[in-house]
Amino acid sequence: MTLWRKVWCRNILAASLLFCLMLFAIVVHARPANMSAAKDKPPANKDENEILPPDHLNGVKLEMDGHLNKDFHQEVFLGKEMEEFEEDSEPQKNRRKLIDIFHKVDFNKDRSVSAKEMQRWIMEKTEEHFQEAMKENKNSFHAVDPDGDGQVTWDEYRVKFLASKGFIESEIAEKIRNNEDLKLDEETQEVLESLKDRWFQADSPPADQVLNEEEFLSFLHPEHSRGMLQYMVKEIVRDLDQDGDKKLTLSEFIALPVGIVENQQAQDIDDDWVRERKKEFQEVIDSDRNGIVTMEELEEYMDPMNEHNALNEAKQMIAVADENQNHSLELDEILKYSEYFTGSKLMDYARNVHEEF
């Protein structure tokens, strides 16, 4: 091979490597560094998924780490049918499903959906999520209740949790019985301490470190308990509150997670983060419009069974697709804005739309 050809080949290889590195950098910095990605990752194993409190709660506006729930609109519009739209991407089938949902939401059958009808529907779908959580909790509780006595001690839960992390269950149980050092790595120890705090919060008075099935539901799903919902709010405020006054200002709520913007794509995502959180803070969470969000305001915002919140959400959802500005939704409007309501973009949404009536 001639010298110039060797040089040319080396240059091509170097350029290809540089391009791959650039692509990798874009992927790494495509979202703020602290952004929760729990829903993007498959569970490490089934047992761990069953007994660990989920990072994401269906029908709740904020994630456990204080990030906005990007799927909230779809969750409160679709309920348990949300998975069907995710799994089936065929536009025609999704279109038929959406039309069927429209007719169910249209309670008085006047071919339009009012804010009150949408509010009623949102409450029904939220209740569906609650029922699903209770069903899953029953299975999870049995998984950590080895003797079937209807009660789980903190030590019993610790054994099952550590077994799900790869520790040998019999050895861990023996060490806990003998009060021996478990020799845990720092990360596992931190998770365990956080879970213990949460366990104590879910333990209804008189505190005995023992949870029944209802208390265990509060442990896994704080949205089912007013006390645990308050605990969740305190945790979120603690993470976001920069001056320690136990309240949130706009600047605290929209502050970007720690990270460095290194390219335009990351900058655009950061801009979206700030814009979305600013809108939510000013228009929804800060109910008295004084520029400060108290724990009480955040708690009301987080409560999935708050009927006033459901009505406000209904009005917001209608406003997104209400092209004729009549404060209600017709079928063609919902079909046109299907991606907002279902996460599924329909093609030819208006084709034969009137035939569906």
pLDDT per position in the chain (357 positions), as tens?
Answer: 433 343 344 444 444 444 444 444 433 333 343 333 333 433 434 445 568 888 899 999 999 889 999 999 999 999 988 888 866 567 888 889 999 999 999 999 999 999 999 999 999 999 999 999 999 999 999 999 978 899 999 999 999 999 988 999 999 999 999 999 998 999 999 999 999 999 999 998 888 889 999 999 999 999 999 999 999 999 999 999 999 999 999 999 998 765 545 566 666 667 888 999 999 999 999 999 999 999 999 999 999 999 999 999 999 999 999 999 999 999 999 999 999 999 877 755 445 444 444
d(CA 351, CA 279) in angstroms, rounded, equals 35
CA 69 to chain centre: 5
336: tokens are 């046109």
3-class secondary-structure state, position 63: coil
Helix (H) or strand (E) holding 211: strand 210-211
Let me know: does 56 contact 39? Beta carbons within 8 Å: yes
Q: Nearest Cα to 55, choosing from 47, 45, 46, 65?
A: 65
d(CA 78, CA 203) in angstroms, rounded, equals 33
Q: Nearest Cα to 287, choosing from 251, 305, 312?
A: 312
- Global pTM reads 0.77
CA 15 to chain centre: 40
d(CA 34, CA 64) in angstroms, rounded, equals 13
d(CA 114, CA 278) in angstroms, rounded, equals 27
